Amino acid sequence: MSLSHYLQTGIYLFAFLCVLFIPFPFIFFPFQEKYTQFLFGGLIQVIAPIAGIEKIHSGISSDSTSLYFLLLLLLILSGGLSFLFEASKRWRVHRGAIFILLRKVFSYYLALQLLKYGVDKIFKAQFYLPEPNILYTPFGQLSKDILYWSTIGTSYLYNVITGCVEVLAALLLLFQRTRVVGLLLSIGVMINIVTINIGFDISVKLYSCFLLLLALIALSPQVSLLYQFFILQKPAALTVEDSPVLFPHQALIQRTLKLFISSLFFLEALYPYRQRKTFNDDLVARPFLHGAYQVQTTSRDSVMQNPFSSIKRFFIHRNGYIIFQDQADQMKDFKLQIDSASHVFVLTDYTMHQTQIRYEYNKRDSLLILHYKIQDKLYIIQGKALNWKSLPALKDEIHWTIESN
């Protein structure tokens, strides 16, 4: 057993186990998180306190401590399996063919992810239009990840172009003749994504690094040939990785299976948009009363209050939240349910305490008036809807000369 073969087998097995067990919210295969949690969840909860970590998220999600422990367990498992496999003569005989198959699996899995994320970008579902509360938050008070996400969300053109690049990489990966080009493009895309996730502290660092690892493994047999051609400028022919013939009509079966898998990939990527019947999230109708409201007047027991006290603005978020912004630009959010029949807001805080607020809405004047009681005192806040879509950040303009700015 050579060390290089042991390490190579370990890397391939680790990557394959990650494909199987790192949870991803697939539409047509929603069971991955459940069986991963079933197999590894209990063990993670046991070893976390041993490692000195008392508080750990029960679910295995992106960049969570649980995911780090899962990767550690998969690394240990792949190391043990690698030792057992390399001790087997049958494995050593078929190692090369199995690696070819695994590289195809990695290429297809990478194609699925790039296709899904690419389509999400094209249809503006990943980098969505910033919510009004984000647009009215001072720049310096936003975290780097929200700043990046919101900035990218303002540009429809950038999302479409980057999404098309990812979709192109995915399509190239699906065909053997174009797979090397697809892998080179995928590596470029993934290096950029990993850099963004680390540089802007976005919580998909581990998963993006994993996808980059898959691309590197899938390209690994061609690296020396690519180096010879591009760097040494010598003639080189890429390695053709044909699967060994194991049974009759194998080529026909493989083509049929490939068509079936590719169709599933496109369904996985496109089905949500077909269901919602929308292909641009920027144009999706927002909920009732969604928007930003500038507080014009406040009163307590019919007595006008200082306009510079307490709440400056409030926002109705598309995901069912109401957010209040004070004069110091601090935000406080509540889960919001709107009873339009009774004209009542039901606010729920993080302790699950509920507060009912009566509201009036004057559509003609775009006024939203909130009535609520605190210690038997009646407070009234009158807010006027702001035209948040006219803010400079959302103007989709291109200036080709500095004079046109």
Task: Name the band, by pLDDT with cuts 50, 70 and 90, for residue 372.
Answer: confident
CA–CA gap between residue 397 and residue 235 (Å, rounded): 47
For 159-163, 198-202, 279-283, 298-302, which range has the lowest pLDDT when averaged over its residues? Answer: 298-302
Contact 339, 348 (CB under 8 A): no
Q: What is the pLDDT of residues 92-116, one digit of tens each?
A: 999 999 999 999 999 999 999 999 9
Question: Among residues of the chain, what percentage have pLDDT more than 90?
Answer: 80
Q: What is the pLDDT of residues 10-48, one digit of tens each?
A: 999 999 999 999 999 999 888 999 999 999 999 999 999
pLDDT at 405 exceeding the cut of 70: no
Task: Name the band, by pLDDT with cuts 50, 70 and 90, for residue 304.
Answer: low
Q: Examine residue 394 and state whether it is found in any structural domain, yes or no.
A: no
**124 lies in the same domain as 79:** no
Q: In the chain, how many domains are there?
A: 3
CA–CA gap between residue 390 and residue 405 (Å, rounded): 17
pLDDT at 307 exceeding the cut of 60: no
**132 lies in the same domain as 216:** yes
Long-range Cβ pairs for the range 281-286 (8 Å, 24+): 281/123, 281/124, 281/125, 281/128, 281/129, 282/124, 282/128, 282/129, 282/156, 286/318
pLDDT, average across residues 109-130? 98
Which pLDDT does position 305 carry in this prediction?
A: 61
**217 lies in the same domain as 309:** no
End of a domain among 62, 87, 112?
87
Where is pLDDT greater, at 238 or 115?
A: 115
Q: Where in the sequence is the domain holding 48, given as residue range(s)?
A: 1-87
**110 lies in the same domain as 70:** no
**113 lies in the same domain as 246:** yes
Long-range Cβ pairs for the range 61-65 (8 Å, 24+): 61/23, 62/203, 62/204, 62/206, 62/207, 63/203, 63/204, 63/205, 63/206, 63/207
Q: Examine residue 233 and state whether it is found in any structural domain, yes or no.
A: yes
For 270-279, 323-332, 382-391, which range has the lowest pLDDT when averaged over its residues? Answer: 270-279
CA distances, 292 to each of 78, 156, 202, 269, 387 (Å): 52, 22, 26, 33, 8
CA–CA gap between residue 84 and residue 311 (Å, rounded): 66
End of a domain among 52, 87, 122?
87
**298 lies in the same domain as 259:** no
Q: Examine residue 342 and state whether it is found in any structural domain, yes or no.
A: yes
pLDDT at 185 exceeding the cut of 60: yes
Spell out the residues 6+ positions from residue 128 whose beta carbon is closer than 8 angstroms to its own.
153, 281, 282
> What integer best gives the mean pLDDT of the chain?
93
Q: Examine residue 96 and state whether it is found in any structural domain, yes or no.
A: no
Q: Examine residue 190 and state whether it is found in any structural domain, yes or no.
A: yes
Encoded tokens for 109: 């899995």
**147 lies in the same domain as 2:** no
Q: Examine residue 398 and state whether it is found in any structural domain, yes or no.
A: no
CATH number of the domain within which 369 lies:
2.40.128.20
Most confident of 224-238, 288-302, 353-367: 353-367
**132 lies in the same domain as 209:** yes
Q: Examine residue 402 and state whether it is found in any structural domain, yes or no.
A: no
**68 lies in the same domain as 119:** no
**122 lies in the same domain as 202:** yes
Q: Examine residue 92 and state whether it is found in any structural domain, yes or no.
A: no
**131 lies in the same domain as 262:** yes
**182 lies in the same domain as 50:** no
